[in-house]
Structure 1
């Protein structure tokens, strides 16, 4: 390709990349999708059925009350109000969602991942210590102390957390690039699996005493996710 203009090479490579990318299936919006031989045993996935446009109203794109503080009276001292497609039907197929984070002083949103979304966070009140860990083999830890107006990004699928290190309540809003980003809270998923993981696996994996593993598996790990439509604790 001697003498072939560099920009033409770049354009050719971009075109090839686009043609390959367009061949991929859409990113899944659920944990798995097992093939079914009969439609009577099947469910619709990767979104929800679409409402007939003539029946759509402004309320399908609307949610009220995200300004209302949520209760943080739990073991973690935190609360997440998620606004995904289940709360705002108009988000279907749009690939975005939103959440409000409420944290009491020293409240924690524990290490977790979103398997289908990256996250961008902005602090509205208080001071947060946030961080994420990269994948193997580096396991690099990136962290920052955030104050009002500060923004931080968590890449898709990576373990991250938010911790209120201030002496007053903290509030943050987060945006996620999926209508159903998913949530895997590390402690809940590992020690609170249903049915329980064989303790021998956890003893070996975490190099813990059996009594510690037994204790953790019996402990009720608290979920701090509050449905956006639930006002009972607001």
Structure 2
């Protein structure tokens, strides 16, 4: 019996290994693919055309500005400064990006949001932040912590997460993301600021609230901090 089970187990392990290898992003087959915008029809590499390698320069891999404090006098009290493939064309196909987040004192908030294509590693450069993420159904467990200067926290890909400045001074954080273009879905903006609006009956039943409250929320200005 043992002899008959061994080949089946081996094949199963091989099948799972093959699946996971094929399901991951392929390794680049060239040194780089510096992104360029083109109006011509064609096949993109990760959504971008590639510049001729002979025309690539250092500026294609360079971005300056993450050292500059950003204003936070807005409805949510935070500003995100991205450094992804849109700002650094040389990031195309490399699967990484950065962002600086500035938070106003006493309540500056990077609202609950998700990155559909990236996990995030956040390091606090200045100030004190209360951060957290919520696990998926059915538990919806909140995993949160207060971070101080130099602390690091991880937000897994696709999960709703936030950062909130609980200190009396400005806070600054740097985020590293595992995608050249991680994307962001801010929950309140997407649900109540959808264009065209989501049918209020859908939201009333989903949130178990009065329709007037839904209509009120849909009429608000939902600020985009990035």
Distance 2:45 2:215 in 1: 37
What's the offset of the Cα at 1:211?
1.4
- The residue number in structure 1 matching 2:127 is 126
Provide the aligned length of Structure 1 versus Structure 2: 211
Report the TM-score when normalising by structure 1. Answer: 0.83
Distance 2:211 2:119 in 1: 36
Distance 1:10 1:183 in 2: 41
Matches within 5 A, 1:84-163: 84-105=84-105, 106-163=107-164
What's the offset of the Cα at 1:12?
7.0
Distance 1:19 1:152 in 2: 32
What's the offset of the Cα at 1:199?
0.4
- The residue number in structure 2 matching 1:205 is 206
Structure 1 unaligned regions, length at least 5: 28-39, 226-234
Greater relative contact order structure (CA < 8 Å, 6+ sep) = 1
What's the offset of the Cα at 1:173?
0.2
Report the TM-score when normalising by structure 2. Answer: 0.86
Distance 2:162 2:64 in 1: 27
What's the offset of the Cα at 1:109?
0.5
- The residue number in structure 2 matching 1:16 is 15
Cα distance change of structure 1 residues 43 and 76 upon mapping to structure 2, 3 Å threshold: farther
**Maintained 8 Å contact 1:47/1:93:** no
- The residue number in structure 2 matching 1:63 is 63
CA RMSD of aligned residues (A): 2.5
